[in-house]
C-alpha cells in the first residue's frame, strides 16, 4: 500500500510539473491581458501535433524542444494581433472569441493532420523499477525539462528588461505606459509566450499521451483549477497549485476511486473560491 | 360595419376559393404521388465531426458507395434512393436535433444511425416517436436491449454479442483470471458488465474492474491498480484513450506480464503500424476481418475496391486514413437491408412502415455485394445482428485472424433477453 501511495505521489508530482507549464501560460495571459483563454488547451494540442510533424520531417525528436515553442510563439503573437487585440477593450468577449478560436484550431488540425490519434515514441526509452512497477525513464526526463523551463521562465521574468516590463504592465498598465513601456508589444509578447509555454508542454507530454486533434480539450479544466487555486494571475502560485493538485489527486487515487480524487480537487477549488478568493498562494505573488 | 355581399363579390370569393381549393388538392395529390413513386430518402445520422469523426468519415463513404450501387441497379423497388446526411458532431444533444432535421425536414423515411453509443441511445426515442426505423451502428447493447423499440435494429455486433461470441474461447485459451479496465461511459460500462458476465459463465473470474475517466491523459494511477495475479487484461477504450492506454501499458511492460484482449472498437481507424508497436501481441475481436485473406471472396474484394482501401490495414488508398472496418460496413449493409425489407414488404409510403419492420424481424441476408461481411440474420425478437465473428492478434503490425466464430455459435451463446417484436408499432 505504501509503495502505491509513494508511486502515485511521485507520478502526480511529475505530471503536475508538466501541467504547471501549461497552466502558467494560461495564467500570464489572464494576468496581463484579462483574457480568459478557452483555447489554451488547444495550444497544448497544437504543440503535440507540431512535435509529430518535426519528428516526421527530421526523424529526430530533440529539435522539437526548440522548434515547437518558437512556432508556438509566432502563432501566439499572430493570434494576439488578429483576434485578441481588436477586442482588448471588451474583455467579456474574450470567452466567445477564444471559444471560436478553439473550434477553428481543432477543425484545422482535423483537416490537416486527420482525426486518427497517433503515438510518438519517447526519445529516451526504457524503464526503472520504482515502488513495485516499471516506471518510464522518459517521465523523469519530462519532469526535469519542465522544471528547467519553469526556472528559465521565472528567471526571464525576474532578471530581463522585457520580463520587468511584463511585470510592470501587469502591476499597473497606465503607469507603465506613462513610463514609456511599449504596452502593445508586451501584450503580443505575452500571448506569444503563453502559447509557447503550452506548446512546450505539448512537446514534453506528446510521448506520454497521444497526438490527437481533441487532445487539449480535457486538459483545460485542470489548468483552470490550478489558476484559480493558485490565484488569478499569480504565476508562482499557479505553478505551485498545478503541482499540488496533481500530487493530491495522485495520493487520493492510491486508496480511492479516481473520480473521488477529481471531486477532491473540485472541492478544494470551491473552498478556495469561498474562503480565499485571492488564491491559496497569495504570498508568492509579486 | 359589415360589407354588403353582392352577387359580384360572392362570385369573386367563390371563384377564388375554388381556385385555392383546387390548387391545394393538386399539391396534396402531387405530394402523395411523390411519396409513393418518387425517390426514397434514406437518412444518415453520421458522426462527421467531433470525437469519433475518424470513424464517421468511413460511414459516410460506405453509405454513399452503397447508394451508388443501388441506384446503378435500378434503385429500391424501382425508386431512386436519395441519401440525406446530417452530422451528429459526435454529441448526443446535437445528434438528437439533427435526427429531427433528417426526419422532419429532409423527409428521411429510414435512418442509418450513429456509431457513437451516446448519440445512438439518445436517437432511438426520437426515431421511435417519429415512427422511423433506426439502424444502430454503435455497440452499447441497450439500443437493441433495454432501451430498444420496435424501430431500433442492428446488423452488427454489440457489447452483449461480442462478449457472448468471444469469452468462451478467450477464457479457455488465454486464462481464467481477468481484470477489466474501461472508459467510464455508456460503451465502456456496457463492455465491463457484459464481459464480466460471460467470463464468469465460461468458468473464469474477474479480479478487478477499473473505470477510467474520459479526460484521462496519464494512465499510471489506473495501471497501478491492476492486480499482479491477472492473467488476461481486457482494456475497453476508443480513439486517443486507446492509443494512450496501449502506449503507457507497453512502456510499463504490462504486455509481458499478461495477455490482452479487447474489442475491435479499441483499434478501429488505427493501423497497428501507426502506433509504433504499442498493440503488438494484443488480441482483438473483429466482425469484418481487416485482412482480405481471412474472408477472401469477390464481395469482400468489391467492397474494398468501392470504399477505396487496401486489403491489409484497411488504409485508404492515397492517404493515411484507416477504416473502422468492423463498424463501417454496417452503413453500407444497413442500406441494402432496408432495400430488401422494402421490396419484400411492398412499402410505398410511411404508413407502410409496419410491413418493413415485420420484414426486418428475422430477415436473412446472404453473402453478396449488398452484404460483403457475410451471411447474417436480424434476430426477430431482439433485432440483433447474428453474424460471423473473428478473434485476431496483432503480429508484425497486422491483424491476423486466429479464430472464426460462426454465427450459429454466436446465436447459441447469446440467449434472448428482450422481445422487441412484441412491442407496439
Nearest residue in B to A221, CA atom: B215
Select the more confidently predicted residue: B258 or A261: B258
Residue ranges of chain A with per-residue pLDDT less than 50? 286
Residues 140-199 of A with CB under 8 A from B: none
Range with the lowest mean pLDDT among B15-24, B127-136, B302-311, B409-418?
A: B15-24
- pLDDT surpassing 80 at residue B31: no
**What are the chain A neighbours of B217 within 8 Å (beta carbons)?**
15, 205, 208-209, 218-219
How confident is the model over A151-163, as pLDDT tens digits?
A: 999 999 999 999 9
**What nine digits make up the cell of A173?**
498598465
Q: Parse chain B into domains and list their residue ranges.
A: 37-157+324-387+418-422
CB contact at 8 A, B354 and B341: no
Number of other CB atoms surrounding residue B15 within 10 Å: 10
| Residues in B lying within 8 Å of A, measured between beta carbons | 49, 51, 53-54, 57, 184, 211-218, 220-224, 239-240, 242-244, 246-248, 251-253, 269-270, 274-276, 278, 320-322
**Taking CB atoms and an 8 Å limit, are B221 and A134 in contact across chains?**
no
pLDDT value of residue B36: 61
**What are the chain B neighbours of A258 within 8 Å (beta carbons)?**
211-213, 216, 221-222
% pLDDT > 70, chain B? 92
Instruction: Indicate which of A116, A124, A146 best probes the interface with B, i.e. most B CBs within 10 Å of its own CB.
Output: A116
How confident is the model over B101-131, as pLDDT tens digits?
A: 999 999 999 999 999 989 999 999 999 999 9
How confident is the model over B144-183, as pLDDT tens digits?
A: 999 999 999 999 999 999 999 999 999 999 999 999 999 9
pLDDT value of residue B2: 42
Instruction: Spell out the long-range contacts of B92-100 with Cβ–Cβ below 8 A and sequence spacing 24 or more.
Output: B92/B116, B92/B118, B92/B119, B92/B121, B92/B122, B93/B122, B95/B45, B95/B119, B95/B122, B95/B123, B96/B122, B96/B123, B96/B126, B98/B45, B99/B43, B99/B45, B99/B123, B99/B126, B99/B127, B100/B126, B100/B130
Interface pTM, i.e. ipTM = 0.78
Query: What predicted TM-score, i.e. pTM, was given to this entire model?
Result: 0.83
Residue identified by cell 510521448 is A207
pLDDT value of residue A284: 54
**What nine digits make up the cell of A221?**
479544466
d(CA B261, CA B282): 6
Which among A133, A212, A222 has CB closest to B240? A212
pLDDT value of residue B5: 47
By residue range, what is the domain housing residue A277? 2-284
Across B91-104, average pLDDT: 96
Q: Does A276 touch chain B (CB under 8 A)?
A: no
How much is the mean pLDDT over chain B?
Answer: 91
**What are the chain A neighbours of B320 within 8 Å (beta carbons)?**
114, 116
Query: Chain B: nearest CA to A96, how far in angstroms?
Result: 19
How confident is the model over B332-383, as pLDDT tens digits?
A: 999 999 999 999 999 999 999 999 999 999 999 999 999 999 999 999 999 9
Which among A107, A122, A215 has CB closest to B240? A215
Query: Chain A: nearest CA to B225, how far in angstroms?
Result: 8
**What are the chain A neighbours of B274 within 8 Å (beta carbons)?**
116, 118-119
Nearest residue in A to B246, CA atom: A119
Q: Roughly what angle, to the nearest 10 degrees, separates helices A40-58 and A2-33? A: 110
Q: How far is CA B167 from CA B27, B32, B74, B377, B418, in A?
A: 58, 51, 43, 21, 21
**Taking CB atoms and an 8 Å limit, are B222 and A258 in contact across chains?**
yes
**What are the chain A neighbours of B248 within 8 Å (beta carbons)?**
136, 208
How confident is the model over B276-335, as pLDDT tens digits?
A: 888 999 999 999 999 999 999 999 999 999 999 999 999 999 998 999 999 999 999 999
> Looking at the DSSP assignment, which residues form a beta bridge with residue B393?
B283, B400
Nearest residue in B to A222, CA atom: B215
Alpha carbon of residue A196 to chain centroid: 9
Q: What are phi and psi of B350, to 5 degrees?
A: -55, -30
Q: How far is CA A52 from CA A58, A65, A102, A203, in A?
A: 10, 12, 20, 9
Question: How many domains, chain A?
Answer: 1
Instruction: Indicate which of A210, A220, A242, A245 best probes the interface with B, i.e. most B CBs within 10 Å of its own CB.
Output: A210
Q: Does A112 touch chain B (CB under 8 A)?
A: no
**What are the chain B neighbours of A107 within 8 Å (beta carbons)?**
49
Q: State how beta strands B81-87 and B40-46 pair.
A: parallel
Which among A117, A136, A207 has CB closest to B240? A117
pLDDT value of residue B102: 97
What topology does CATH give the domain B37-157+324-387+418-422? Rossmann fold (3.40.50)
> Which are the contacts of A47, defined by CB distance < 8 A and separation ≥ 6?
A68, A69, A72, A198, A199, A200, A201, A202, A203, A206
Element (H, E) at B186: helix B186-201
CATH of the domain at A162: 1.10.3470
Amino acid at each position: 500500500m505504501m509503495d502505491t501511495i509513494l508511486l502515485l505521489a511521485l507520478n502526480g508530482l511529475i505530471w503536475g510539473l508538466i501541467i504547471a507549464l501549461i497552466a502558467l501560460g494560461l495564467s500570464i495571459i489572464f494576468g496581463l491581458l484579462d483574457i480568459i483563454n478557452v483555447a489554451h488547451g488547444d495550444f497544448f494540442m497544437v504543440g503535440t501535433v507540431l512535435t509529430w510533424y518535426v519528428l516526421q520531417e527530421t526523424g529526430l525528436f530533440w529539435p522539437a524542444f526548440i522548434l515547437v515553442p518558437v512556432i508556438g510563439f509566432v502563432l501566439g503573437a499572430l493570434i494576439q494581433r488578429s483576434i485578441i487585440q481588436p477586442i482588448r477593450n471588451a474583455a467579456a468577449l474574450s470567452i466567445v472569441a477564444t471559444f471560436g478560436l478553439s473550434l477553428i484550431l481543432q477543425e484545422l488540425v482535423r483537416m490537416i493532420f486527420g482525426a486518427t490519434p497517433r503515438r510518438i515514441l519517447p526519445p529516451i526509452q526504457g524503464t526503472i523499477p520504482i515502488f513495485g512497477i516499471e516506471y518510464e525513464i522518459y517521465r523523469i526526463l519530462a519532469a526535469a525539462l519542465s522544471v528547467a523551463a519553469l526556472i528559465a521562465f521565472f528567471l526571464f521574468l525576474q532578471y530581463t528588461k522585457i520580463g520587468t516590463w511584463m511585470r510592470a504592465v501587469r502591476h499597473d498598465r497606465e503607469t507603465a505606459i506613462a513610463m514609456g513601456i511599449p504596452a502593445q508589444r508586451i501584450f503580443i509578447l505575452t500571448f506569444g509566450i503563453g502559447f509557447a509555454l503550452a506548446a512546450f508542454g505539448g512537446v514534453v507530454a506528446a510521448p506520454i499521451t497521444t497526438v490527437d486533434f481533441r487532445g487539449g480539450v480535457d486538459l483545460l479544466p485542470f489548468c483552470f483549477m490550478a489558476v484559480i487555486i493558485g490565484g488569478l494571475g499569480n504565476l508562482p502560485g499557479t505553478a505551485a497549485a498545478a503541482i499540488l493538485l496533481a500530487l493530491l489527486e495522485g495520493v487520493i487515487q492510491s486508496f480511492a476511486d479516481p473520480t473521488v480524487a477529481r471531486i477532491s480537487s473540485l472541492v478544494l477549488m470551491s473552498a478556495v473560491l469561498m474562503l480565499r478568493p485571492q488564491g491559496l498562494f497569495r504570498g508568492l505573488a509579486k | 360595419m359589415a360589407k354588403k355581399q353582392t352577387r359580384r363579390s360572392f362570385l369573386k370569393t367563390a371563384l377564388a376559393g375554388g381556385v385555392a381549393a383546387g390548387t391545394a388538392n393538386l399539391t396534396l395529390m402531387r405530394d402523395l404521388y411523390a411519396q409513393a413513386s418518387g425517390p426514397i430518402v434514406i437518412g444518415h445520422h453520421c458522426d462527421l465531426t467531433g470525437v469519433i469523426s475518424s470513424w464517421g468519415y468511413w460511414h459516410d463513404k460506405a453509405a454513399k458507395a452503397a447508394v451508388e450501387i443501388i441506384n446503378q441497379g435500378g434503385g429500391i423497388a424501382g425508386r431512386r434512393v436519395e441519401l440525406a446526411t446530417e452530422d451528429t458532431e459526435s454529441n448526443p444533444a446535437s445528434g438528437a436535433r439533427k435526427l429531427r432535421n433528417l426526419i422532419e425536414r429532409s423527409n428521411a423515411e429510414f435512418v442509418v444511425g450513429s456509431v457513437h453509443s451516446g448519440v445512438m441511445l439518445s436517437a432511438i426515442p426520437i426515431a421511435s416517436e417519429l415512427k422511423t426505423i433506426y439502424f444502430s451502428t454503435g455497440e452499447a447493447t441497450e439500443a437493441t436491449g433495454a432501451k430498444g423499440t420496435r424501430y431500433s435494429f442492428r446488423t452488427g455486433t454489440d457489447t452483449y454479442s461480442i462478449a457472448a461470441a468471444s469469452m468462451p474461447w478467450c477464457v479457455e485459451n488465454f486464462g481464467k483470471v481477468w481484470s477489466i479496465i474501461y472508459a467510464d461511459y455508456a460503451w465502456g460500462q456496457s463492455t465491463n458488465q457484459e464481459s464480466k458476465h460471460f467470463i464468469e459463465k465460461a468458468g473464469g473470474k474477474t479480479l478487478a474492474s477499473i473505470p477510467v475517466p474520459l479526460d484521462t491523459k496519464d494512465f499510471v494511477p489506473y495501471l497501478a491498480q491492476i492486480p499482479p495475479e491477472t492473467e488476461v487484461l481486457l482494456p475497453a477504450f476508443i480513439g486517443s484513450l486507446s492509443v494512450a492506454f496501449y502506449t503507457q501499458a507497453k512502456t510499463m511492460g504490462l504486455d509481458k506480464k499478461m495477455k490482452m484482449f479487447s474489442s475491435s472498437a479499441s483499434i478501429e481507424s488505427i493501423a497497428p503500424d501507426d502506433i509504433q508497436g504499442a498493440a503488438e501481441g494484443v488480441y482483438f475481436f473483429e466482425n469484418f476481418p481487416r485482412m482480405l485473406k481471412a474472408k477472401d471472396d469477390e464481395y469482400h474484394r468489391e467492397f474494398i475496391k468501392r470504399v477505396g482501401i487496401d486489403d491489409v490495414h484497411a488504409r485508404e488508398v492515397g492517404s493515411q486514413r484507416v477504416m473502422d472496418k468492423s463498424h463501417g460496413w454496417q452503413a453500407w449493409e444497413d442500406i441494402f437491408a432496408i432495400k430488401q425489407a422494402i421490396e419484400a414488404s411492398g412499402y410505398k409510403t410511411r404508413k407502410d412502415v409496419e410491413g418493413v419492420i415485420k420484414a426486418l424481424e428475422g430477415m436473412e441476408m446472404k453473402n453478396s455485394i449488398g452484404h460483403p461481411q457475410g451471411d447474417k440474420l436480424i434476430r426477430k425478437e431482439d433485432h440483433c445482428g447474428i453474424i460471423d465473428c473473428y478473434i485476431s492478434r496483432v503480429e508484425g503490425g497486422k491483424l491476423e485472424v486466429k479464430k472464426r466464430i460462426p454465427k450459429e455459435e454466436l446465436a447459441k451463446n447469446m440467449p434472448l433477453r428482450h422481445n422487441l417484436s412484441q412491442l407496439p408499432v
